[in-house]
A and B are shown apart, each in its own frame.
Chain A
């Protein structure tokens, strides 16, 4: 059982570059989430999805875009990376909004 898989695990970007983080889950969950984790700030929600084809903004959506074309995949895009986006990014999924969230192993992203 893979659960929630994030790719890549590490990435270094230069300011202004773009990239896409991929999250895939094999649990048939409806809800998927993207968080960023910075020291001392906990997990902050970037965007989330309540089902295939839907997306919604979280607490810190600026500078990010997402897509959920297939139920099992949730993509997070950075169009023009900035040093302030250096962080650890976690994807999570759940059956419903009030059910346990299952997290991927994270992507460590550094922007120089």
Chain B
């Protein structure tokens, strides 16, 4: 039931945009997004609780299509600080109370 993230890795230049996708085979209550820098703990970015919900802050936003069981994370005008591994965590309706994380997407932003 692990969600599938794509792409596995992406390299950008500063100022470019990126989209990271997360797809589940199970019905979802919510999708969480986290970023982890090398050697550090994952850090919460945002939660999407309702189908169709879109959230964002600064130049990072996300959407959740409940019917398709998919979420996408949008990074616009990328900065060097955006580099890291991005994980989606899915709250599956069948299980509740816990997240199942994807394998991660490695994002590297170059100057």
Chain A residues within CB distance 8 Å of chain B: 31, 33, 35, 40-45, 48, 50, 56, 58-59, 90, 97-106
Option from B44, B49, B87, B103 in Cβ contact (under 8 Å) with A98? B49
A93 to chain B: closest CB distance in Å? 12
A30 to chain B: closest CB distance in Å? 10
B99 within 8 Å of A (CB atoms): yes
Query: Could you tell me the distance between the alpha carbons of A98 and B93 in the complex, rounded to whole angstroms?
Result: 11
B58 within 8 Å of A (CB atoms): no
Is the pair B42, A31 in contact by a Cβ cutoff of 8 Å?
A: no
Is the pair A43, B98 in contact by a Cβ cutoff of 8 Å?
A: no
Option from B30, B41, B87, B96 in Cβ contact (under 8 Å) with A104? B41
Is the pair A31, B97 in contact by a Cβ cutoff of 8 Å?
A: yes
Option from A31, A35, A41, A90 in Cβ contact (under 8 Å) with B103? A41
A-B contact pairs, 6 of them (CB 8 A): A42-B102, A43-B89, A48-B97, A98-B29, A98-B47, A98-B91
Is the pair A103, B41 in contact by a Cβ cutoff of 8 Å?
A: yes
Which residues of B have CB within 8 Å of A40? Answer: 103-104
Is the pair B42, A90 in contact by a Cβ cutoff of 8 Å?
A: yes
Chain B residues within CB distance 8 Å of chain A: 2, 29-30, 32, 34, 40-44, 47, 49, 87, 89, 91, 96-104
Closest residue to A4 on the B side, CB-wise? B41
Query: Could you tell me the distance between the alpha carbons of A106 and B41 in the complex, rounded to whole angstroms?
Result: 7
When A42-B87, A43-B42, A103-B42 are in contact, do A97 and B97 touch as well, CB less than 8 Å? yes
Is the pair B99, A45 in contact by a Cβ cutoff of 8 Å?
A: yes
Which residue among B40, B49, B97, B103 has the maximum number of chain A CB atoms within 10 Å of its CB? B97
Is the pair B104, A100 in contact by a Cβ cutoff of 8 Å?
A: no
Query: Could you tell me the distance between the alpha carbons of A41 and B2 in the complex, rounded to whole angstroms?
Result: 10
Closest residue to B97 on the A side, CB-wise? A97
